[in-house]
């Protein structure tokens, strides 16, 4: 299946999020599987993946691009997996090492997060951070889910960042704000 990349839209971030969430929901199961497999294949072929000892990423929920196979592959490859936990009172992320996908449980906003009791992984120890997002531009700028957690986390994160997305999630141009930090690598189908 070939999807056309989205053109510039004159909508605000809220409307862009709403429209993209609908497009994600509307993706057929067969297309989702096919496109997702292409994204995984491209990720696993990168030097960034091969060289990373510790990978940080969220556990996907809803219609997001599925990350559980990425987590499982990281375990198979002998990598340390760090999953974020939101601290709403401070609006920050703390990454914890998980040893199995069953270590995460539904929590804040129904996100799948590790418990506070698991070992903390400092941001400097995450070699490859896979940043979630709904919409991206070719330069790596993103529109996330609106909480600003990753924008704050990325302000002093210096290692490799990447995002996984379907090609239809990439727009020629998206609204940017002064605090936005692009990912260094965008991996699409």
pLDDT of residue 2: 44
Locate the domains of the chain by residue range: 18-188
Residue ranges of the chain with pLDDT lower than 70?
1-11
Between the two ends of the chain, the Cα-to-Cα distance in Å is 10
CA nearest to 6, candidates 188, 161, 131: 188
Token pair in block for residue 150: 């990753």
pLDDT of residue 7: 47
The H or E element spanning position 41 is: helix 29-44
Measured in degrees and rounded to the nearest 5, phi and psi for residue 135 equal -140, 140
C-alpha span between 24 and 10 (Å, rounded) = 20
- Considering only the top CATH level, what class is 18-188? alpha beta
pLDDT digits (tens, 9 = 90+) for 100-118: 999 999 997 889 999 999 9
pLDDT of residue 66: 96
Dihedral of the alpha carbons of 28, 33, 35, 39, in degrees to the nearest 10 = 150
Token pair in block for residue 88: 């709403």
Burial code of 103-136, b = ≥16 C-beta within 10 A, e = fewer? bbeeeeeebbbbeeebeebebeebbbbbbbbbbb
The secondary structure of residue 6, as a DSSP letter, is B
């Amino acid at each position: 299946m070939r999807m056309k990349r989205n053109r510039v839209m004159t909508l605000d971030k809220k409307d862009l999020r709403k429209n993209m969430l609908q497009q994600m929901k509307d993706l057929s199961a067969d297309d989702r599987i096919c496109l997702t497999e292409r994204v995984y294949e491209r990720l696993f072929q990168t030097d960034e993946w091969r060289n990373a000892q510790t990978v940080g990423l969220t556990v996907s929920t809803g219609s997001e691009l599925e990350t559980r196979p990425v987590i499982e592959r990281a375990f198979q490859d002998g990598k340390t997996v760090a999953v974020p936990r939101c601290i709403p009172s401070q609006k920050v992320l703390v990454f914890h090492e998980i040893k199995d996908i069953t270590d995460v449980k539904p929590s804040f906003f129904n996100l799948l997060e590790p418990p506070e009791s698991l070992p903390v992984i400092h941001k400097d120890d995450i070699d490859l951070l896979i940043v979630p997002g709904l919409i991206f531009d070719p330069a790596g700028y993103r529109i996330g889910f609106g909480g600003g957690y990753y924008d704050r986390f990325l302000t002093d994160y210096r290692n490799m960042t990447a995002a996984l997305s379907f090609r239809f999630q990439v727009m020629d141009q998206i609204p940017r704000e002064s605090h936005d930090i692009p990912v260094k690598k965008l991996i699409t189908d």
